[in-house]
Amino acid sequence: MTKQIVHDEVQDVVTVEGLLFFDTAGKLQLRQDYFSRPQSHLLVDRLMEVIDRSSGDVLYRTPTLKGMNLGGALRPGEGEAHPNERVIRLQDGTLVLLISHIHGMNGRQLVIRLGYSMAPLQARMFQFLLVLLIAIPIALLIAGAAGQAIARRALSPVEEMAKRAEGITAKNLHDRLNTSNPDDELGQLASAFNHLLDRLEQSFDQLKRFTADAAHELRTPIAAMRIIGEVALEENEGNVSYKEVLSSILEETARLNETIDALLLLARAEATQGGRETQSWSLQSVVNEVLGLLEVLSDEKGIRVVQEGSYVSNANIRADRGLLRTAIMNVLHNAIKFSPRNGVIRIAYDGLAPTRNAVQLYVQDEGPGIAEDEYEQVFERFFTSNSHETATFSGTGLGLSVAKLVIERLGGSIYFDHLAVGARCRIELPLSRDDARTNEQFD
């Protein structure tokens, strides 16, 4: 601002130099027609004083000074520098920005002092400060209200999501949060919450089905035992009938024990967290142990067991040995159960790529196989096939469910390959860290 005033005053000094003249009486005058010049309109409010440099006499003083001195006596070298500005205070206390300049005229050196009163600038600054003092609180109030309204509008989806989330209970797990824009942060948060609800709803549905299936599986044998006992008491038949009744009761009791054991294994497997085992086991040793336990069943049917890929079979698995043995036993027991007499069960071991650090175990039988639409269902709890070929061999429907749960908790996977004849179960288990290098050599 001050630089602009100095620049204007320098321009005005040049204008003044063209307007000064000595009249016939030798008195310095200022031409009065400068108002007609567009570039001279700024001289109206200027303060000017012209001093003879040689004598120090004041030759001209504008009426705007009202007889007051503009800077007092000449200073040494005043006006020689360009621009030569300084701030002075008049006798009435007015601050003035003063420019001095030496101008030669009729063989005389004149010092032209041109000043600009700072009073208008101070008045404007005071007005500006006053406006700020009044406007700032009002602006802050308006900005605060606007910010509150904007924040309330921006957070309204969050408030709506919170209310909707609070209203979701076990009775309405199918409800979901609205995701108007799934790409923004709120949309991603709502999508993540909806995915969480999907998993919870799926778990609740599985728990409901499991409870219903377990109740059904336990109620049926108990009801059968009760009916058998009541009939036996009413008929009061001979010892042979009692033996048949007791056999039926023992058979149903064994079925109940099998179901309860499977439920306990499921509970134990669900409580197990893979990756915390400190000991590793040879996969083939576990398989051989299971084959030894099932030897009576396989010999009874004349089934021959063939193992292949022994160079991988010694790979170590870091897992809960008891649970792993149960999972493999369920798979091998199924293979023996569904194999025809004098059939062959092939057990093969295969290594995966080094990046997988896992080993695969194949168990293939020559039984009736799996229906095309039941490859996924065979791992569901209490699932029994509707096929006439397998219905007579069906048990509680928990064996493969236990195997799948255990294998997955150990960090592996289990599934059946699609075959035209027989069934081939494929189990993939992660190797222990020590055997990861061995797997690289096998590849």
Mean pLDDT across 144-154: 91
Q: What is the pLDDT of residue 160?
A: 86
Q: Is the pLDDT of residue 418 over 60?
A: yes
pLDDT digit string, tens, across residues 33-43: 665 555 455 56
Contact (Cβ atoms closer than 8 angstroms) between residue 81 and residue 13: no
Q: Is the pLDDT of residue 363 over 90?
A: yes
Q: What is the pLDDT of residue 443?
A: 44
Q: Is the pLDDT of residue 334 over 50?
A: yes
pLDDT digit string, tens, across residues 80-119: 876 678 888 888 888 888 889 888 888 888 998 988 888 8
Q: What is the pLDDT of residue 414?
A: 93
Q: What is the pLDDT of residue 302?
A: 92
Q: Is the pLDDT of residue 359 over 90?
A: no
Q: Is the pLDDT of residue 436 over 60?
A: no
3-state secondary structure of 223: helix
Percent of the chain with pLDDT over 90: 16
Contact (Cβ atoms closer than 8 angstroms) between residue 389 and residue 336: no
Q: What is the pLDDT of residue 442?
A: 45
Q: What is the pLDDT of residue 65?
A: 86
CB atoms within 10 A of CB 427: 22
3-state secondary structure of 442: helix
Q: Is the pLDDT of residue 176 over 90?
A: no
Mean pLDDT across 25-40: 70
Percent of the chain with pLDDT over 70: 86
Spacing of C-alpha 398 from chain mean position: 38
Q: Is the pLDDT of residue 48 over 50?
A: yes
Residue 159 binned pLDDT confidence (cut-offs 50, 70, 90)? confident
| 409 vs 294: which has the higher pLDDT | 294
Q: What is the pLDDT of residue 438?
A: 53
Spatial distance between the Cα atoms of 330 and 402, rounded to a whole number of angstroms? 8
| 180 vs 161: which has the higher pLDDT | 161
Radius of gyration of the chain (CA): 52
Q: What is the pLDDT of residue 148?
A: 92
Highest-scoring range by mean pLDDT, 11-15, 168-172, 335-339? 335-339
Out of 91-100, 186-195, 270-279, 383-392, pick the least confident. Answer: 270-279
Q: What is the pLDDT of residue 415?
A: 92
Q: Which residue has the tokens 């590793």?
A: 280
| 440 vs 333: which has the higher pLDDT | 333
b/e burial code for range 182-214 (CB count within 10 A of at least 16 → b): eeeebbeebeebeeebeeebeeeeeeeebeebb
Contact (Cβ atoms closer than 8 angstroms) between residue 187 and residue 180: yes
pLDDT digit string, tens, across residues 189-248: 888 888 988 888 888 887 777 777 777 777 777 777 777 777 776 766 556 667 777 777
Mean pLDDT across 324-349: 91
Report phi then psi at 161, rounded to 5. -65, -40
Mean pLDDT across 273-290: 78
